[in-house]
Structure 1
Amino acid sequence: MFTLEELEIYLKNNNADFEIIHHEYPIYSVKDAAGYFDIRKATPTLIVETEQGLIVLIVSSQRGRLNFDELKKECGFSEMKLADKRAIMASIGCPAGAVPLVGNGLPCIFDERLLIYDYIYGGTGNACRTLKIRPADALRLNQVLWFIE
């Protein structure tokens, strides 16, 4: 995982259209984000455990509660559940609530619903910083192996 400075350099070097937003209070949920940006464009970045290992799940907040049985079928997995907090920390070096939208080094499932927005908002690895980025750049800069509709 990148430090904030490394993330910014990585995004600049890859010509991403982005901004890192600083906020006084940590954001751990979509509800926490309401005072900082349009929560319809919030992009929770979760880590799930599958039979293929840990995978990042980048989803639209407009999806509501996730049905992992449907998601695993859509992506062709036999098993899928939220990863254990300790496994997340050991794998990417940050807590579950602050998983970075870009630069986490894991394969990814990407929600195509995000592509309708001009910008999306997601984690940076620091709960007091949010990444605002064009969805096409988030798609391009992740190891996307699966899409969900």
Structure 2
Amino acid sequence: MNQYDIKISDYLKENKINADHLLVKKNCHSVSDAAAAVNEKVDEFVKNVCMVDDTDRLIVAIVKGEDRASTSRVYKVLNLDHRPKLASEEEVFRRTGFPVGGVPSFGFNALFLVDLKVLEKDYIYTGGGSTQSLIKIETGELLKVNSGKVFRIRKK
């Protein structure tokens, strides 16, 4: 286990979060890589798209693996003055403490927005801290853990 996997594993234990932390041998940088690593369908996975609004707040748009997050929908549902910008890899790491491709759907300071379609699933897989780990968590538990706000934030 690397330092990022240890960090999220400790977070799960300390906060008594009901989730499975899975370490895999394959790289899980993309949703399709992650699905292959645990022999699951892509629609069981979410992406955590990090954005920054004009007040410098980190927003994490959580969408199903096959979907894309919409900055215009996030702008509208949050009633922002300007569309949020996508965070750079450096910003993602600095603000979350996790590398791109391993960012979990909780465990750091951000506003978490969860797309409605995510809640169609009983459980999802999300980043597990590194590109070689995943977290399997029930969607109800996810909302409890990240205090996620539910909106339609996906494109199309």
Structure 1 contact 92–104 (Cα < 8 Å) conserved: yes
Alignment correspondent of 2:115: 111
Taking the TM superposition and a 5 Å limit, the aligned residue runs for 1:102-141 are 102-141=106-145
Alignment correspondent of 1:17: 18
Structure 1 contact 106–143 (Cα < 8 Å) conserved: no
Q: Cα offset for 1:55?
A: 1.4
Unpaired stretches in structure 2, ≥5 consecutive residues: none
* Structure 2: distance between partners of 1:102 and 1:71: 18
TM superposition outliers: structure 1 runs of 4+ over 6 Å: none
* Structure 2: distance between partners of 1:94 and 1:9: 14
The one-letter amino acid of 2:19's match is F
Structure 1 contact 48–56 (Cα < 8 Å) conserved: yes
Structure 1 contact 16–134 (Cα < 8 Å) conserved: no
Taking the TM superposition and a 5 Å limit, the aligned residue runs for 1:35-50 are 35=36, 36=38, 37-50=40-53
Size of the aligned set, in residue pairs, is 146
Q: Which moved more, 1:14-23 or 1:115-124?
A: 14-23
Give deviations 1:27-62, integer Å, cap 9, x for gaps: 111121231222101111121011132211211224
Q: Which moved more, 1:12-21 or 1:37-46?
A: 12-21
Cα distance change of structure 1 residues 86 and 15 upon mapping to structure 2, 3 Å threshold: closer
Unpaired stretches in structure 1, ≥5 consecutive residues: none
* Structure 2: distance between partners of 1:19 and 1:134: 10
Cα distance change of structure 1 residues 14 and 92 upon mapping to structure 2, 3 Å threshold: closer
Alignment correspondent of 1:98: 102
Given the two structures, how large is their TM-score scaled by the length of structure 2? 0.80
* Structure 1: distance between partners of 2:13 and 2:97: 23
Alignment correspondent of 2:77: 74
SS of aligned partner of 1:34: helix
* Structure 2: distance between partners of 1:3 and 1:132: 16
Match of residue 52, structure 1, among 52, 55, 66: 55
Structure 1 contact 102–141 (Cα < 8 Å) conserved: yes
Give deviations 1:63-114, integer Å, cap 9, x for gaps: x233322332123222212111111122222222221122122221112222
Cα distance change of structure 1 residues 93 and 15 upon mapping to structure 2, 3 Å threshold: closer
Cα distance change of structure 1 residues 38 and 15 upon mapping to structure 2, 3 Å threshold: farther
Alignment correspondent of 1:4: 5
Given the two structures, how large is their TM-score scaled by the length of structure 1? 0.84
